């Protein structure tokens, strides 16, 4: 929205009943905006695009919690591991620059860090699971063709069984 445009008022209760099915996006957008504003984020993109703004390395060790306006400017509170907070404190000027560049204005004057346990976003490795042995009565065991084709059939039988 532009700087001078007024935002519609926040919902104060459940959405009005319409007596018909409606698109959920209209109600969900207003409720999500209200939740972000309660946490002090007038710009929801700061939270939703955090990884793109600060980079994957910083996003892995810190998450935004709250944004408050103070007399000296905006203060962004970040949750980070205790050891990571020390590292990020040294990088705070660079981080503020990235965040302000994304927002398009000097909104964040300083960062505040809160120590906390970060949930891991690590995905399990995509390696193959150890395949079980092919069943003794599997037809692949009775194949009498070429050896490479027999091994491929046995591999398929093991994968199918596991």
CATH, residue 91? 3.30.300
Count of structural domains, the chain:
2
Q: Across 10-162, where does the E strand assignment appear?
A: 62-70, 73-80, 108-115
Residue 69 lies inside a defined structural domain of this protein: yes
Neighbours of 4 (CB within 10 A): 5
> How far apart are alpha carbons 101 and 119 in whole angstroms?
27
pLDDT at 128: 54
Q: What is the pTM for the complete model shown? A: 0.57
CB 96 within 8 A of CB 73: no
Structure tokens given for 105: 């204005």
Residues in the chain predicted with pLDDT less than 70, given as ranges, are 1-5, 7-8, 10-11, 15, 18, 22, 120-132, 161-162
Radius of gyration (Cα) for the chain, nearest Å?
27
pLDDT of residue 126: 58
Give the relative orientation of helices 92-103 and 82-90 as an angle to the nearest 10 degrees. Answer: 80
Structural domain including 61 reads 24-115
Question: Do 29 and 108 sit in the same domain of this protein?
Answer: yes
């Amino acid at each position: 929205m532009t700087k001078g445009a007024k935002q519609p008022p926040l919902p104060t209760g459940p959405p009005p009943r319409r007596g018909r099915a409606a698109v959920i996006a209209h109600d969900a957008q207003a409720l999500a905006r209200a939740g972000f504003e309660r946490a002090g984020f007038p710009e929801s993109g700061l939270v939703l695009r955090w990884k793109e703004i600060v980079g994957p390395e910083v996003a892995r060790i810190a998450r935004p919690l709250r944004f408050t306006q103070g007399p000296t400017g905006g203060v962004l509170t970040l949750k980070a591991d205790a050891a990571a907070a020390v590292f990020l404190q040294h990088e705070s000027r660079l981080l503020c620059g990235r965040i302000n560049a994304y927002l398009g204005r000097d909104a964040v004057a300083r960062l505040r860090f809160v120590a906390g346990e970060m949930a891991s976003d690590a995905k399990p490795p995509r390696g193959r699971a150890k395949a079980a042995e092919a069943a003794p009565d599997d037809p692949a065991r009775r194949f009498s063709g070429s050896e490479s084709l027999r091994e491929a059939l046995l591999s398929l039988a093991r994968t199918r069984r596991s």
